[in-house]
Amino acid sequence: MADGTYRCHDCHMTFGTLNLLQKHKQKFCVGGSVGDPDSLRLRKGLRSDDDPIARPYSPEEKPLSGGKKLEDKVRQLQVLKAQREKRRDIRNLQERILLDTLEDTHVQLGYGPSQRSVSRLPLSKDKDVKRLQLEYEMLREKELQQQTKIPVGYERGISPMLRESRLDNYSPMSDSSMSIHLPDDEYQKYNPDQDQQIKQLAENHGRQMEYLQLRNQDLEKQRQDIQRRLGELGNKGRPTGGEDSGQLLAELRAQEERNQRALDDLKRQLYDINHQRINVIEVDKGQPAPLPPPPPPVETGRKSYIYPIYYGNSMVAEISAIRQAYLQNGGNDPDILHQMAQMQAEAQNIEDQMKKHGYDRRHREKKDPGQITQLELENERLHRELMLLQEQNFLARERKKSDREEELERQLRQLREDQLRKMYELQNEINLLKNRPPVEATPRQVLPPPPTKADTPWLLQRPYVEVEPMAPYDQYAGFVIFYDLVLNLDPRVTACRLIVGLHGVSAQMGEPTLMPTVYTEPVTRGGAYMSNNSNAIIGARQPVPKCPADSDLGIVVELQTSGGPASDYDKHSLITRAWTKLPLFDGKGQLIAGKFRIPFRNVPIKPYLHPSQLQNLEKFQDAELYYRVVNMRDMEVQSLVNISAANYNQYRAPVIPPPSQAKPPSPRVPPTASTGLGSRQEQRLPSIQTGRVQPQDTTIGFQVDRVKHAEGGEGKVRLTAYYASTGKLVQSSISPVTCSTTAVKSNFKQNYHVFGQQEATFNDVDLQGDMVLIARFYLRKRQSEPSGFEADQGNEATLYDEETLIAWTAIPLVLCTENLSVRGRRNFNPKTMQINTGTHTLRLYTPPVPDPGQVPLEEIQGNHDWRRYGKATLRIHIFQGNPRPGSLTPSDMSEDGEDVLPEYSWLPFERSKPCRDPFLSGDGFDVYVDGCRYLPDSVTFSKVAGRVLDRKYEVHGKDINATVNLDSDIYNPVYETKTEFRENNIPPSSTIMFKVYTVDNFYKQLTVIGYATLNVFVESGTERQPNIDKPGLQVSLNEGAHQLRLYSQGPNGVDPLTESVIRDSGVRYVPCASLLVRLTRVAKGPSGKALEQSKVPQADWLRLGLYQPRPRYTDRIYFSTKCMPSKGESKLFHSMMRRPAIKVRDAVAKIAQAKESFYRSDKNLEEYIRNKLTKGDNKPLDIDLTFICQYNPKQGIKVAVDGATNLPWTNFTHAHICLNPPAAFYMGAPHATYDKLVFTEFLDLKSTNTSPQWRDGFKHFPSRSYHRFLTVIIHLQEVQVSVAKENYKYGLLEQAWTALQVFTDHYCYTSTFQLPLYDGSPSPQMLKQLAREPCKDWMERNIRSGTIHLLEGGSVYVRLADGRRDDELAGDAPGDKLLEVNTDYIPPEWEDKYARERPGKPLESMVPTGKTAEQFVDGLAIKFKNLVYKLYEEGNVK
């Protein structure tokens, strides 16, 4: 055959089909070819590759002369041929019986039926053999019917005539499983020229048949051996040992492999006899006899199991899930099923008893708490008395020894100091007598009156605070220096920085400290200051604890500036320009305290000069340093002073004592690191340190971040540390370890009090292992809370008492690796103890606050004796030594378990076995529409419509129209509608498309909630939907219960309609919404036709399967894997399950404007729903996916800036995002710490400079309070990168911004937007206006007025989503041209400009040399953050 044609090799005629060719050879061909190999191939539907070549006859092959001899030869040949055919047919039948027996053995061994397709066995011409063949086929058919348990009614409906027709209608090329093929009545004509060839073939065939017969005998013996072994296995019953059964199974598998190899050899022998095809039994027709692989080894790891899935904590649910998984995995052992049923009954009984006893136990607990509490208090009292007695005995034993040792050491130290002091006094007198310097009168200092009232510094800020210079100095506590101002700088100086260090006249005491860089500001006031100068506010403090009172000590201050004189070639680098040295102590060992100003001196720096010797050095222009020196005990009071250049007249020149020649040494204790609790305007710096290092850092500090889930109002936190053994306050070098935050009333985060990491530090803490920290939370509730951002910065005193104490918590300050008692913890052992540093989230409890001794030092969070204050928590950070810079843990995620799927919201279930029953012509099916689940908030009353469509969208059968039940919930409606399909011409590729209609609750118009599709048929034995409508294709009904996901849009009408056409097209789904439908097979009547409800009495519907009641969803019979919920949907389910149920009749009453009597009739309501949900002339609306579920503040919102287009600049671009209100960063310091910016970080270098893209994805803003006009502010800035020598320089150039409104009617927009960009940056006044009216209206008005200016053609792509719905929005909005983008913010007249994209330069070509792409992207993001903070520190917002 070539190109679909068949050719006769005798007359060279061609035919279109095999049947025409055979008919031609039998009736019309002039020559015969009985023994021709090509003829044999043609009988099998094949032909040789080359045409036969005529060859000359040999003398033996010449045809006989004479008619009688020819007839004798023909008769003999026919008899010989008939005998051989009879023997061949008998052998074929024997082989067929052997193959069937092997097939049955294969099934008995548990491997299932083989996948071979059995070919035709020709009927013999001999009557006896033919009758034997037919009897065997009848017996075989009956055995198969008994094995497959065919229903009696179904088999009875098949007539004998139909069975015979099925035997007659199989074509030779069919792959059917029928084994008998009836050949034509007549054979081909005899060709006398082929007798020699037939004789040779017959001899070869005989030898092959003898060989096959021997092989068959061997196979028969093997079959008997297998049957014997199977019998022995069956007699043994269930094996008790795993080794015996495993060995027996291994032997059976080995025997089966040998049988299979022998069978494969037999197949090859039957297929190939002298490389020629003959008409025999064919096995595996579709393949050229490959060797089948051996059965796979039993490996449990490779087998796919269905694992039990259940929800909740119920034991009954768990056992039920295990039983369901056992059945789905193929388990059918009745003993196991019976045992599971007993376990489930026992579990149910146990749960019932637990509920009953739990109720009784609660009642008993209500009666006994008083007695239990009294016993516990008595026990604690006795325990405290015992511990006190033990402690007194221990102290009494140790007191004598310790007192004697301390007394001896004190006397020796005193003698040594007195001796040294006398020696130095004598030396000083000698030097004074030699020099005799003139006595200089010290002017008396006139001090303002001290304040009359003093209070805790962190609770009260006094309007006027003065330094007390005459107060005695405590060298163990130390002092503090406040660096306030640097005045009278050159106007060209743009920034400055101080570097400070403690120096003596002969050595440096510790490493210098770098202070933060500050930016100068021009002088705007007259008086003593000229207008051409600039000033810098330093606003930093430097604690110096444990500093000896030595007049030779001083603070060397180095001034670095950028800009100014001699900076023409480098205006940005900080260069040392001047220095000075601050005096600290006078000759009497007193601290020189007060407010001072001192001029700077020109470089070079000479740190070893005494401050009095600086008078001879040249001044650095008119620049002066304004500073304060106070005792450590006055640090907190002085931290409240308002720093301003207008108060310059309060500072005076210090009185510098002369240098001392000699001084007796005093006991020095090296200063330690310290930071204090100061004004928010000041920078906290590490203290000046000497070379000695303490073995254990005794500085402890706290940072208070926030209180979560508290009531609204004005709140603050007070921290106090105690010794648990004594109940006393923990002491530091200057004060007890106790502090309080400023009061805040921050309203921009739902149920949050944000303290902005307020900090307190305590130096030289007396460490013990039993220290505990107790935090108290005070709250003053407000009647009406403001909508904007507010935070009390301490400008007004807000006092709290015990009446406003609403919560407390505690945490041990020391962690111990040993299990010690409270007494054993008193001595701090650094080897086994450490400070409990780090960030801690603590639960808050209701008052009263327990005594410190009652606070356990372990497992505080698990103490059940304290009652929780709701779900409120406090987050603090404890540090030792230097404070931790930056923010604490980033955003808070959900802590309410909403990531876990609610019980019964979605139940997983899938089909265990594919459908195999063929769906024949004349069969019917029914479609049940049961209901919907979790429809969105915009629904009222609904209906479901559907049609059966083929791939070309042609309709087949009747329409589906499901009406809603009036008493069902509008969010979970029930329909219970059945539609019958009895058509004979439904194509195999048909798909049912459903539509769910409603009257939208917000738009009040007919709206399509969603679309769903379901394939009617599957290919038998698979889950695939047929993709062709070929006649005779064997398909099965996709029967069963299905849970279908709803999509917001239907198919496009261009692609062929399939079940997956909507899902594959990327259409957004309706979150959580699904449709419940069922497809059922229809029973047939006696006539073989499908039954119909209209022709059967209603009483018989249930019995005949014409009506099947709606199952409950919790019965777990709906195939639900195609609508598996996402992570966001799991959170939405929690909110949707809290919606109150609304009946359909109540929804109709709310919408319809009619009298009350109208609603009393169900017919009226059904008619009203039918009219409203019927399509008219106007096209129904598509669902607005914004109105799915109301906004939940604790989940917050998510924003993604994906890219920008048509930017007018040529460098790199980054963006930062914030929410307005509060827009705290635009309000300046210190508000920025309360709500920080969010930056883009991952710039896509494959994009261009005019249309950059970012790969950051969504940025989360959790716990945001609902604000009607909340907007997202997106700010883009151009970043310039240049290379100078070996350094990279970064700078900010152009900028643009835009805004997007977040909410509409308590719902968060969830969509992709293209927003126009505006030139410049937003001002605080603009942001305040945006918080008072809709964003779009404000922008349109200000564009017309010229207040803001559009960046022509420039736009940014932004994705905005509810915090639970970000997985609905696909990424790559700028690159996906088919993605639906909201362009409502773009002016209609400029849509063409924004649609076109200007070409640009690829960013990867702009990366500076010497850096990889990854390094450059990371470095650029970090530099951009620093530059933005620097820009706003300068106050240069524009």
The whole-chain average pLDDT of the chain stands at 77
DSSP characters for 886-910?
Answer: S-SS-S----SSTTSPPTTT-----
Q: Which helix (H) or strand (E) holds 1358?
A: strand 1350-1362
When pLDDT is cut at 50, 70 and 90, the band that residue 271 belongs to is low
Strands (DSSP E) along 897-962, which ranges? 925-933, 942-949, 955-962
Strands (DSSP E) along 689-832, which ranges? 700-708, 714-723, 738-740, 752-762, 771-780, 805-812, 814-816
Q: Are 1012 and 1045 in contact (CB under 8 A)?
A: yes
CA distance 990 to 949: 5
1226 or 51: which leads in pLDDT = 1226
CA distance 1332 to 1270: 9
When pLDDT is cut at 50, 70 and 90, the band that residue 972 belongs to is very high
Q: Which two tokens stand for residue 253?
A: 């598998």
531 burial level (CB within 10 Å; 0-12, 13-18, 19+): exposed
Q: What is the mean pLDDT of residues 1269-1286?
A: 90
CA distance 877 to 1301: 35
User: Is pLDDT at 45 greater than 60 in this prediction?
Assistant: no
Query: What's the confidence (pLDDT) of residue 545?
Result: 85
Query: What's the confidence (pLDDT) of residue 755?
Result: 80
Q: Are 677 and 759 in contact (CB under 8 A)?
A: yes
Beta strand 180-181 with 479-489: parallel, antiparallel or unpaired? unpaired
Between helix 334-367 and helix 315-328 the angle, nearest 10°, is 170
Amino acid, single-letter form, for residue 883:
P
pTM value is: 0.50
> Each residue of 1064-1122: pLDDT tens digit?
988 999 999 999 999 999 988 888 889 998 989 988 898 888 999 999 999 999 999 98
Q: Which two tokens stand for residue 536?
A: 């810098």
Which alpha helices (H) appear in 1346-1436, and where do they start and end?
A: 1391-1395, 1413-1434
Which of 117, 124, 127, 118 lies closest to 97 in space, CA to CA?
118
Beta strand 180-181 with 121-122: parallel, antiparallel or unpaired? parallel
The 8-class DSSP code of residue 1327 comes to H
CA 206 vs CA 76, 80, 81, 94, 121: distances in Å: 18, 12, 12, 16, 19
Q: Are 650 and 592 in contact (CB under 8 A)?
A: no
CA distance 1374 to 1411: 28
> Each residue of 580-617: pLDDT tens digit?
999 988 888 888 989 999 999 988 788 878 888 888 78
User: Is pLDDT at 299 greater than 50 in this prediction?
Assistant: no
> Residues with Cβ < 8 Å from 989, sequence gap 6 or more?
950, 951, 1015, 1017, 1025, 1026, 1027, 1028, 1029, 1058
Q: Which two tokens stand for residue 1066?
A: 């990327």
Q: Are 943 and 1148 in contact (CB under 8 A)?
A: no
User: Is pLDDT at 285 greater than 50 in this prediction?
Assistant: no
Q: Are 1228 and 1169 in contact (CB under 8 A)?
A: no
Amino acid, single-letter form, for residue 822:
V
Number of Cβ atoms within 10 Å of the Cβ of 243: 8
Query: In the structure, how many helices (H) and strands (E) does the chain have?
Result: 22, 47
Q: What is the mean pLDDT of residues 24-45?
A: 56
Instruction: Collect contacts of 112-115 with beta carbons under 8 A, ≥24 apart.
Output: none
Query: What's the confidence (pLDDT) of residue 734?
Result: 75
DSSP characters for 1379-1396?
Answer: S--B-TTS-GGGHHHHHS
For residue 1042, what are the β-bridge partners?
1077, 1119
Which single residue is written with the structure tokens 């065997």?
136
Query: What's the confidence (pLDDT) of residue 1204?
Result: 95
CA distance 1421 to 1213: 10
Q: Which two tokens stand for residue 389?
A: 């007695």
Phi and psi torsions of 279, nearest 5°: -85, 85
Q: Which helix (H) or strand (E) holds 578?
A: strand 575-583
Q: Which two tokens stand for residue 1133?
A: 């389910």
Q: Which two tokens stand for residue 1416?
A: 């450059």
When pLDDT is cut at 50, 70 and 90, the band that residue 1438 belongs to is very low
Which single residue is written with the structure tokens 């372990």?
858
CA distance 1382 to 1358: 10
> Residues with Cβ < 8 Å from 1327, sequence gap 6 or more?
1220, 1221, 1223, 1226, 1273
435 or 632: which leads in pLDDT = 632
User: Is pLDDT at 1013 greater than 90 in this prediction?
Assistant: yes
The 8-class DSSP code of residue 143 comes to H
> Each residue of 47-73: pLDDT tens digit?
444 444 444 444 444 444 445 566 777
> Residues with Cβ < 8 Å from 465, sequence gap 6 or more?
451, 637, 638, 640, 641
The 8-class DSSP code of residue 382 comes to H
CA distance 1294 to 617: 46
1157-1189: string of b/e by CB count within 10 Å (b at 16+)? eebeeeeebbebbeebbeeeeeebeebbbbbbb
Percent of the chain residues topping a pLDDT of 90: 31
Number of Cβ atoms within 10 Å of the Cβ of 218: 10
Q: Are 1312 and 1379 in contact (CB under 8 A)?
A: yes
Range from 230-244, 508-522, 1353-1367, 1383-1397 that averages highest in pLDDT? 1353-1367
Amino acid, single-letter form, for residue 1205:
T
CA 305 vs CA 232, 329, 1022: distances in Å: 32, 6, 18
Q: Which two tokens stand for residue 552?
A: 């030779």
> Each residue of 221-245: pLDDT tens digit?
877 777 777 666 555 444 444 445 5
CA distance 111 to 106: 6
Q: What is the mean pLDDT of residues 89-103?
A: 79
User: Is pLDDT at 1337 greater than 90 in this prediction?
Assistant: yes
Q: Are 789 and 1224 in contact (CB under 8 A)?
A: yes
Q: Which two tokens stand for residue 1267?
A: 């604000």
Number of Cβ atoms within 10 Å of the Cβ of 225: 12
Give the distance, in angstroms, between the CA of residue 1318 and the centroid of all CA atoms in the same chain.
34
Q: Of 644-648, 1277-1281, 1419-1423, which gets the smallest average pLDDT?
A: 644-648
CA distance 1238 to 1256: 11
Q: What is the mean pLDDT of residues 564-593?
A: 80
CA 1104 vs CA 907, 1083, 1304: distances in Å: 30, 7, 54
269 or 1179: which leads in pLDDT = 1179
The 8-class DSSP code of residue 301 comes to T
CA distance 1229 to 788: 17
Q: Are 1047 and 1073 in contact (CB under 8 A)?
A: no
Q: Are 1390 and 1351 in contact (CB under 8 A)?
A: no
Query: What's the confidence (pLDDT) of residue 112?
Result: 58
Which single residue is written with the structure tokens 């004479």?
66
Bin 84: left if φ > 0, else alpha if -120 < ψ < 50, else beta: alpha
CA distance 404 to 412: 13
Query: What's the confidence (pLDDT) of residue 110?
Result: 61
> Each residue of 681-736: pLDDT tens digit?
334 344 444 333 344 678 899 988 889 888 888 888 999 999 988 888 998 877 78
Query: What's the confidence (pLDDT) of residue 1386?
Result: 93
Q: Are 599 and 654 in contact (CB under 8 A)?
A: no
CA 993 vs CA 864, 954, 957, 1378, 1418: distances in Å: 57, 12, 13, 24, 50
When pLDDT is cut at 50, 70 and 90, the band that residue 552 belongs to is confident
